[in-house]
A and B are shown apart, each in its own frame.
Chain A
Amino acid sequence: MSAHFEPIAAPPKLLPDRADVVIVGGGIMGLAIAWNLARLGQQRIVVVEKSYLCSGASGRNGGGVRAQWSSETNVRLMKRSIELCSDFATKMRINVWFRRGGYLFLARSDERAKQLEESARLQRDHGLPTRIVDRAEMKEIVPELDVSRFVAASWNPHDGVVFPWPFVWGYARACEKLGVALHTHTDVREIETTNGRVSGVVTSRGRIATDRVLVCAGAWSPEITRMVGVELPSHPHRHEICSSEPLKPFLRPLVGDLADGLYFSQSMRGEIVGGISNAKVPDGIDQRSSLRFLGLYSRALSRAMPVLGEVKILRQWAGCYDITPDGNPLVGDVDEVPGMYLMSGFMGHGFMMAPVMGELFARWLLQGEERELFERWNLRRYRLGKLLSETMILG
């Protein structure tokens, strides 16, 4: 039936032998930064991705985007990121199925409720409509929820969910339109230095001379920085997700329980997509699925929403979180190796933060803005003992 097709696939593009910036990692963070750098006039940007687009965490996450955080920085950043999400489809001319159904964070204890209340107050100070709701209102927002198990919840109707894949394609296409050279299936083998400074990147498809390397490799970032002797405090941790058969739209928000890390939402395809914490998973790069996850998730989900018991799980998958000891990312320059920059350690929240972090990183690097943020989240805080905190981490 398809014999009339002529071979049309473009041959692999030639790898440039020189670049002003090489970005390691073609996930949403690397692509968002590449696009923002190009928009600000940065020339000769090369993005190298070891596998296909969406192969790492950017293609394996639940798509949640929320401004409900407990630290002022995260609230401020995510408020902007959600704004960027809301007009992404128009600007990039790609449907990302962004839906502002809100986030409902459940509390099982008075102590947790108090924490949520403090965070909600902070969020309101930043102009968000977050408020604490009681059982009756929880039931109004999600009628099928077994509210007897929860004492209160934090509710921000402006949070939302996107379909991650087209977000990545949107940035990738926009990057290429601005002249960014995007090379998939191109593995970094070595980072060269001359007199201690970055001087080149050796890949599986050739060498690129450059004096700036930006590491956006998510859970693989420690492997990259180790090539120049820099040990990151972050480590990969497998996180699993699954999705159900599609159902008619009935569930408005993304529901999250910080006690066991359960979260679930209904995608625009109708599937219930969700995950849960799985403390027994050993650290390390591992993208295999496990039966134990399905058991943990299904038990927690059917307790929270008994009506979902008869719904069938269609498929599961896994991706890697990039975990830091203080739950905050590693961004900016690396003191030990001039010319190397980090954008990693986003804990599993890198997808939702990429739109704003792409914008801020480009302004920081090229225009010197946002110095305070790039100082606070810099790798050197570990050496200086200035660790940070964030309590609203899910999954």
Chain B
Amino acid sequence: MSDKILACRCEDVTTHEIEEAVRAGHRDLESLKRYTGFGTGWCQGKQCVALCARLLVELGGDPPDAPITPRPPFHPVSIARLARLLPEGDE
């Protein structure tokens, strides 16, 4: 059996890739996110951030003060719905 263990299922990031990224000097969670891409897929980090943060700390990185900066909308919203947000004439 392969020892490939997924840390982020949306973006196919493995625990090995997290390890390599920390080894390469990405010691904080935001930097690690940008280097590996975890948390940028469909779930927006709901499934992977806690695990990646824990791995980072175990690997000797900087303990995060908070999770990665949340990116609204917190749930996917259709463009048609968002298009009705503003009154006509507001450009």
Contact surface of A with B, Cβ cutoff 8 Å: 1-3, 5, 7-10, 12, 51-55, 59, 165, 169, 184-185, 244-246, 260, 279, 289, 291-292, 294-299, 301-302, 308-317
Are A5 and B83 in touch, CB under 8 angstroms?
no
Contacts of B5 in A (CB 8 A): 1
Return the CB mask of B24-61 against A: 1 if under 8 Å, else 0.
01111011001100001010100000000011001111
Chain B stretch 40-91: residues in CB contact (< 8 A) with chain A: 40, 42, 44, 54-55, 58-61, 71-73, 76-83, 85-86, 90-91
Q: With A9-B23, A184-B31 as known contacts, state yes or no: A299 contacts B83, CB within 8 Å.
A: yes
Q: Nearest-CB distance from B51 to chain A (Å)? A: 8
A165 to B30, CA, bound (A): 12
Are B58 and A5 in touch, CB under 8 angstroms?
yes
Partner of A294, one of B31, B42, B44, B73: B73
A313 to B85, CA, bound (A): 14
Contacts of A9 in B (CB 8 A): 22-23, 25, 27, 59-61
- Residue B19 is within 8 A (CB to CB) of chain A in the complex: yes
A382 to B58, CA, bound (A): 53
Are A7 and B60 in touch, CB under 8 angstroms?
yes
Contact surface of B with A, Cβ cutoff 8 Å: 5, 15, 19, 22-23, 25-28, 30-31, 34-35, 40, 42, 44, 54-55, 58-61, 71-73, 76-83, 85-86, 90-91
Q: Nearest-CB distance from A244 to chain B (Å)? A: 7
Are A52 and B31 in touch, CB under 8 angstroms?
yes
Contacts of A297 in B (CB 8 A): 82
Partner of A185, one of B28, B34, B78, B91: B28
Are A301 and B71 in touch, CB under 8 angstroms?
no
Q: Nearest-CB distance from B9 to chain A (Å)? A: 14
Given A292-B85, A299-B83, 10 other A-B residues pairs in contact with their CB atoms under 8 A? A8-B23, A52-B31, A244-B79, A279-B91, A301-B79, A302-B79, A302-B80, A310-B80, A312-B76, A316-B71
Q: With A294-B82, A295-B82 as known contacts, state yes or no: A316 contacts B72, CB within 8 Å.
A: yes
Q: Nearest-CB distance from B48 to chain A (Å)? A: 13
Q: Nearest-CB distance from B64 to chain A (Å)? A: 12
Which residue of the partner chain A has the closest CB to B73?
Answer: A313
Kindly list the 4 A-B residue pairs having the minimum CB-CB distance in the complex, ordered from nearest.
A7-B60, A295-B85, A315-B71, A309-B80
Q: Nearest-CB distance from B19 to chain A (Å)? A: 6
A315 to B34, CA, bound (A): 15
Q: With A10-B25, A315-B44 as known contacts, state yes or no: A295 contacts B86, CB within 8 Å.
A: yes
Partner of B79, one of A53, A185, A298: A298
Which residue of the partner chain B has the closest CB to A176?
Answer: B25
A297 to B81, CA, bound (A): 12
Are B54 and A2 in touch, CB under 8 angstroms?
yes
Contacts of B76 in A (CB 8 A): 245, 312-314
Q: Nearest-CB distance from B50 to chain A (Å)? A: 12
Which residue of the partner chain B has the closest CB to A289?
Answer: B72
Contacts of A55 in B (CB 8 A): 30
Contacts of A5 in B (CB 8 A): 19, 55, 58-59
Contacts of B79 in A (CB 8 A): 244, 298, 301-302, 308-313
Which residue of the partner chain B has the closest CB to A182?
Answer: B25
Sample 28 A-B pairs with CB under 8 A, ordered by A number: A1-B15, A5-B55, A7-B58, A7-B60, A8-B59, A9-B22, A9-B25, A59-B34, A165-B35, A169-B35, A185-B28, A245-B42, A289-B72, A292-B85, A294-B73, A294-B82, A295-B86, A298-B79, A298-B83, A299-B82, A299-B85, A309-B78, A312-B76, A312-B77, A313-B77, A315-B40, A316-B71, A316-B73
Q: With A9-B22, A298-B83, A317-B71 as known contacts, state yes or no: A2 contacts B31, CB within 8 Å.
A: no
Are B85 and A52 in touch, CB under 8 angstroms?
no
Q: With A5-B19, A165-B34, A317-B71 as known contacts, state yes or no: A291 contacts B85, CB within 8 Å.
A: yes
Contacts of B82 in A (CB 8 A): 294-295, 297-299, 313
Partner of B86, one of A299, A308, A309: A299
